[in-house]
Structure 1
Amino acid sequence: MILFRYLAREIFITMLAVSATLLVIVMSGRFVKYLAQAASGDLAPDVVFSIMAYRLPSFLELVLPLGLFIAILLAYGRLYVESEMTVMAACGLSTRRLALFTLAPAVAVALLVSWLSLYASPMGIAKVQEIFQDAKNSSGLELLVAGRFRIDEKSGRVTYIERLDDGRQVMEEVFSAEQSKARQGGKKLSVILAERGTIQNIEQHNGRYLVLENGYQYIGKPGSQEFRVTAFDQFGQLIKEPEIQRNSYKKTDARSTEQLLASTKLEDKATLQWRISLGILVPIIALIAQALSETNHRRGRFVKMLPAFLIYIVYIVLLNAARDGIEKEKIPLELGLWWVHGVFLLIALLLLFGADGWRRLRSKSAPGLDTRGAGQ
């Protein structure tokens, strides 16, 4: 038990450090993307941290298996380089017992990853979709920042407001400029200046409108004298609904595991197998990492990092390919993603026991052959 606690502590401490580093890298990239969307006015600034919090489980379900994989390579590699593994083997620690010691923390991580992938991650992704849906159906005022220009990349419209009052429901000193094609060719410019503005849902016109009060509209072609100036007490402008932000996950990723179990669609079944596969993957890669961590002080503990990462990447890529194959009906549902786990479990066992098993088989069969030869 002392040896098991020592090995488990080494694995968990290294895994926490590696996983924290990977998580910071992944979340930083995603956070920068959301900040860019908020800066361009495509996303409300006050929901960025909520989105990151809800996305955390989906990040962890991918980071933790890789963190454990790297942790075993580093922890066991250090023990081999410093000859601690040699001492343990001399004291009776076999490859099989070491594999059992490795599987214990791996199973704990697998249970955590399974809970994340089956329950926490779908719930978080569903919340993120709700936030994007709310941003689409909201008044749009939360995307505007007082004292800053906002450019709509699709329409080219430039909007500026001096102040937001009454709980961000009323805009004051509104400026809006937009270019459009003129009938005679070229482009015409439409500029609107208004004292106040609100966004209202007008049921009779089936849409949302920017309603401006007490202002002027200037329409004409730049560089010419063809300008029309219109004073208005109230002016309504239709607001086109923006598209929901695209995300890296699929639509089925937001569905609960109970919904996937009750569904008969191939896409849902493939997603369910993917979620289960993330938990199955953990102990298999733990055994592969144990086998590839064997080294000595001359070669160093990083010598097998490259082939280890290649095996891990191929494992993940094959799982994704099998998932797409199920959705496109190229792979039978019964075969699913399970054949990928079977192949890599076989690889793990061959890496761990292949050479020793072959030597034991030869040592056991050799006496029998000699006896049969002597008897003849």
Structure 2
Amino acid sequence: MIVFRYLSREVLLTLSAVSAVLLVIIMSGRFVKYLAQAASGALDPGSLFLIMGFRLPGFLQLILPLGLFLGILLAYGRLYLESEMTVLSATGMSQQRLLAMTMIPAAGIALIVAWLSLSLAPQGAMQFQLVLNKQDAMTEFDTLEPGRFQALSDGTRVTYTETMTEDRANLGGVFISEKRLGQDKKDRGISVLVADSGRQEVRPDGSRYLILENGYRYDGSPGQADYRAIKYDTYGVMLARPDVSNEVTDRDAIPTAQLFGNPELRSIAELQWRLSLPLLVFIVTLMAVPLSRVNPRQGRFLKLLPAILLYMAYLTLLISARGSLEKGKLSPVVGLWGVHAIFLVIGLGLLYWEPVRLKMKSRRGQKELARG
């Protein structure tokens, strides 16, 4: 029991450290991406941390298996390097017993990954898509920020305001540049509007207008001297009507209960993927225990790179099988289970190859002594 607690503590501490580093790296990259979208007006800056919270379960379900794999390699590698595993082996600690002890904390990690994969991650993905739908429902007036040029998603209009009241009702120092497109969708030049002030007006039919006051309109084509200038007292610019949708189309956001019994290949592939992640934990544990065995003279990180490449091959094949299953190129019976079977065999081979090799080496040594 003391040995079990010691080994579990070493693995879990290393797992926590590795997973925290990986989580910070991944979330930092995603946060920079969302921050760029917020800077361009595609996302509300106030919802950035909410979005990151919704995406967190999806990150963790992939990070924890890798963190456990690296945690076992690093923790047990240190024990081999400091000859602690040699002492444990002398007291009867076999590779099979070490694997059995390691499987207990791995089972706890697998339960957490199953909870994330089957429940929390789909819920987070659904809330994330609803936030995006809400963002799409906002007009350019709702996302406009003073002192910043903001373009529509289709690139047909750029809007700028120098000042804006807190209730977003009135603007000051307005500039709008808009492409003029003909019925054939060809570029007919640009229109530039400048105004001292502006305000939003909602009509009874739900359409919205930006009413500009005391300004000029310039029409023409870049590079040509045929611009026309018109002074106006009041001018209305129609704001695009947003497409409001509460439909969830992302496959990651489909509740797991709806995937069971669904004959669509897309649903079968998604269900097998969610079930594969907890299974992944057990198989990578099976591979990590023998791969962590190192010679103290060879160094702690000798097998780390090959082990990481093996894990990447495992995950890459799972993703590839998922895509092939969705396209109908792979039978649902084989599906992702075939990939798990391949790496299960690899893990068993790694586990039993070293004892067999040592036994064969011992027999050769005995034969040579007998000959001598």
Q: Fold match, TM over 0.5? A: yes
Which residue does the alignment assign to 1:45?
45
Instruction: Tell me the equivalent position of 2:132.
Output: 132
Structure-2 residue corresponding to 1:162? 162
Residues 1:170 and 1:118: Cα distance change in structure 2 (over 3 Å)? farther
Q: Deviations over 1:59-87 (max 9, x none)?
A: 00011111110000000000001000000
* CA offset digits 1:264-317 (Å, max 9, x no partner): 211011101100000000011011111111012111110001110111011101
Asked if the contact 2:219–2:227 (Cα under 8 Å) also holds between the matched residues in 1, the reply is yes
Check the 8 A contact 1:83/1:296 in 2, yes or no. Answer: no
Hey, what does 1:266 align to over in structure 2? 265
> Could you say if the C-alpha distance between residues 199 and 120 of structure 1 is closer, same or farther in structure 2, counting changes exceeding 3 Å?
farther
Alignment size in residue pairs: 357
Distance in 2 of aligned mates of 1:302 and 1:89: 21
Distance in structure 2 (CA, Å) of the matches to 1:77 and 1:325: 37
Shift of 1:325: 1.4
Kindly report which structure 2 residues correspond to 1:200-239, keeping only aligned pairs within 5 A, or say none.
200=202, 203=205, 208-221=207-220, 224=225, 226-239=227-240
Q: How big is the shift at 1:202?
A: 6.0
State the partner residue of 1:198: 200
Secondary structure (helix, strand or coil) at the match of 2:146 reads: coil
When the two chains are superposed, the root-mean-square deviation of aligned CA atoms in Å is 2.9
Shift of 1:347: 0.8
How far residue 239 of structure 1 moved from its aligned partner, in angstroms, is 1.6
TM-score (norm. length: structure 2)? 0.87
Separation of aligned partners in 2, 1:182 and 1:149: 25
Counterparts of 1:92 and 1:201, CA distance in 2:
83
Residues 1:83 and 1:360: Cα distance change in structure 2 (over 3 Å): closer
Displacement of 1:362: 12
Q: Contact (CA 8 Å) 2:11, 2:72: kept in 1 or not?
A: yes
TM-score of the aligned structures, taking structure 1 as reference length: 0.86
Deviation of 1:172 (Å): 4.0
Higher mean alpha-carbon deviation, 55-64 vs 227-236, is at: 227-236
Find the aligned partners of 1:267 and 1:257 in 2 and give their Cα distance: 13
Q: Which residue of 2 aligns with 1:54?
A: 54
CA change 1:218–1:69 in 2 (3 A) is same
CA gap 1:319/1:202 in 2 versus in 1, 3 angstroms: farther
Where does the alignment leave 5 or more consecutive residues of structure 2 unmatched? 363-372
User: 1:67 & 1:201 partners in 2: Cα distance?
Assistant: 56
Q: Greater CA deviation, 105-114 or 162-171?
A: 162-171
Matched-pair identity in %? 42
Q: Distance in 2 between matches of 1:86 and 1:31?
A: 45
Report if aligned partners of 1:175, 1:194 keep a CA contact under 8 Å in 2: no
Deviation of the 1:142 alpha carbon: 3.9
Structure 1 outlier segments of 4+, above 4 Å: 181-186, 240-244, 357-363
Cα distance, 1:155 vs structure 2: 2.4
Unaligned runs of 5+ in 1: 245-249, 364-376
Tell me if structure 1 keeps the 8 A contact 2:139–2:239.
no
